[in-house]
Chain A
């Protein structure tokens, strides 16, 4: 069974641009969540999607958004990039909202220049 797949692995953007990151969950998993990891702030919850609906969002500005498709694949978008958005973005999936076992992908490393 394939794990959580995130694309691309690495991304370089400049300030002011926008970026879209993709996440394919484990087959059969309906919940996808996103986390930002930086050396300064550590790991922070961005948002979770279940059945195409955002269940909750962490303390991030509106420039961070996401969506989930009917096949459970998810994308997150960051508009008007800032230097501080440079981070490792991790996606995780779980079978459903009642299952506590999260499976993570290897992340997308975003560098904003």
Chain B
């Protein structure tokens, strides 16, 4: 089956620093990747949609200068949380699709803690 990896699985950083999270589709080419944020016992909140080779589309209320997304290849998308603050602490999950109308394959998620 389709496998999506995320790295790192967890990270602790100090307030003011930047953190990069990688999302890779291991056995298929992903035309589209999605980035979500999930708070404990809540649903997934879509942050942005990224298509290979083009700028990401951010959801309303998501700061694009704070959450930098790069989809440099058909198998890799990165999310950089810049100048992280404690309120950015969350579970970040990516998903990848070979075609936007197909099911999404989710990565295992990255737990970010900002101290």
Q: Do A and B come from one complex?
A: no
CB within 8 Å of A: which residues of B? none
Hey, which bits of chain A sit against chain B, CB under 8 A?
none
